């Protein structure tokens, strides 16, 4: 384990070396931002909307008492969505979608000697292959999380009003009362950290693959598993640190 952590840190050190040509890296960054951001928008939108709707129904079920005002459903859904559900569920979904893609892409390049070809040309392979993905991850995951927050709260409204669990006016009153903007800051810090974890852990798994197709597939699976566990651990530490 310590060997892997050490090698991961050394890989990151190589990633942050000065790029050979900024304009080529810039094009790659734009491509990765589009791939990670636009490519995941549909999936994140669907998941967030449904999670928000289901959350509203469950909160309404658990807080079904005459002593508790219905507006609380909206405020609990808002805070849960912003602080935990949107960043963490989005990150776990992206670890599966983006992480496996990054790991298998870099792993395939490794076993087909394309990374060796880059190194022979005098190109810093970790920088060229990983840095644009890392920048794409740490910029687009927060954007996706902001969209997920909005859609989760909107999904809660749709689910709550369609099922009759809460009226539209109660829900709106709930989500607009006692709002603490700091929760957004916490969520964005989490999203930034998760974006870093998703891209670098997957890249690390792919970069050091040895063997063939089977090993690439195993690295891809390992990338998702390790990313998910790391995201959950980081979620705990960031929450403890910031709240």
The torsion defined by the Cα of 100, 93, 151 and 179, in degrees rounded to 10, comes to: -120
**Closest distance to other proteins from the beta carbon of 118 (Å):** 9
Instruction: Pick out residues in 2-21 that bind other proteins (CB under 8 A).
Output: 20-21
Are 207 and 154 in contact by the 8 Å Cβ rule? The answer is no
| Of positions 9, 10, 117, 232, contacts other proteins by CB under 8 A | 117
Number of amino acids touching other proteins (CB under 8 A): 15
Q: Should residue 114 be labelled a site residue for other proteins when binding is judged by CB under 8 A?
A: yes
Closer CB to other proteins, residue 108 or residue 183?
108
Task: Scan for tokens 């599966």, then name that residue.
Answer: 96
CB of 38 to other proteins, least distance (A): 18
Q: Cα–Cα distance between 235 and 232 in angstroms, integer?
A: 5
Nearest distance from residue 120's CB to other proteins, in Å? 5
Q: Which helix (H) or strand (E) holds 9?
A: helix 2-15
Tokens representing 125?
């392979």
Q: Which lies closer to other proteins via its Cβ, residue 168 or residue 212? A: 212
Positions 58 through 97 that interact with other proteins (CB under 8 A)? none
Q: Which is nearer to other proteins, 84 or 119 (CB)?
A: 119
Neighbours of 221 (CB within 10 A): 14
Residue 17 CA from chain centroid, whole number: 25
26 counts as binding other proteins under rule CB under 8 A: no
- Residue among 1, 2, 122, 164 that touches other proteins (CB under 8 A): 122
**Residue 123 binding other proteins, by CB under 8 A:** yes
- Provide the terminal-to-terminal Cα distance of the chain, rounded to the nearest Å: 30
Q: How far is CA 165 from CA 41, 69, 177, 216, in A?
A: 28, 12, 19, 48
Q: By C-beta, is 113 or 178 nearer to other proteins?
A: 113
Give the helix/strand (H/E) hosting 103: helix 100-111
- Total H helices, total E strands in the chain: 11, 0
Task: Report, in Å, the least distance between residue 96 CB and other proteins.
Answer: 22
Minimum CB–partner distance for residue 108 and other proteins (Å): 8
Q: Using CB under 8 A, pick the residue from 68, 120, 162, 232 that binds other proteins.
A: 120
CB of 117 to other proteins, least distance (A): 4
Cβ of residue 79: shortest distance to other proteins, in angstroms?
Answer: 43
Can you tell me which of 113, 176, 177, 180 binds other proteins, judged by CB under 8 A? Answer: 113
Q: How far from 24 is each of 27, 85, 132, 161, 241, CA to CA, in Å?
A: 5, 36, 10, 50, 38
Q: Which residues bind other proteins (CB under 8 A)?
A: 20-21, 24, 108-109, 112-114, 116-117, 119-123
């Amino acid at each position: 384990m310590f060997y892997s952590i050490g090698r991961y840190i050394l890989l990151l050190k190589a990633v942050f070396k000065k790029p050979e040509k900024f304009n080529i890296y810039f094009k790659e960054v734009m491509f990765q931002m589009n791939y990670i951001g636009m490519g995941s928008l549909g999936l994140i939108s669907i998941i967030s909307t449904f999670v928000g709707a289901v959350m509203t129904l469950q909160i309404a079920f658990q807080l079904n008492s005459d002593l508790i005002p219905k507006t609380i459903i909206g405020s609990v859904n808002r805070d849960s969505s912003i602080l935990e559900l949107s960043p963490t569920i989005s990150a776990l979904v992206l670890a599966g979608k983006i992480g496996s893609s990054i790991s298998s892409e870099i792993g395939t390049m490794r076993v087909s000697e394309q990374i060796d070809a880059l190194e022979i040309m005098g190109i810093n392979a970790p920088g060229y292959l990983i840095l644009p993905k890392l920048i794409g991850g740490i910029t687009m995951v927060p954007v996706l999380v902001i969209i997920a927050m909005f859609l989760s709260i909107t999904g809660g409204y749709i689910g709550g009003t369609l099922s009759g669990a809460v009226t539209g006016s109660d829900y709106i009153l709930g989500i607009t009362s006692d709002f603490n903007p700091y929760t957004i800051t916490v969520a964005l810090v989490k999203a930034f950290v998760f974006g870093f974890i998703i891209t670098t852990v997957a890249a690390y798994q792919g970069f050091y693959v040895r063997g063939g197709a089977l090993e690439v597939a195993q690295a891809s699976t390992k990338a998702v598993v390790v990313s998910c566990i790391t995201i959950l651990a980081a979620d705990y530490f960031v929450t403890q640190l910031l709240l």
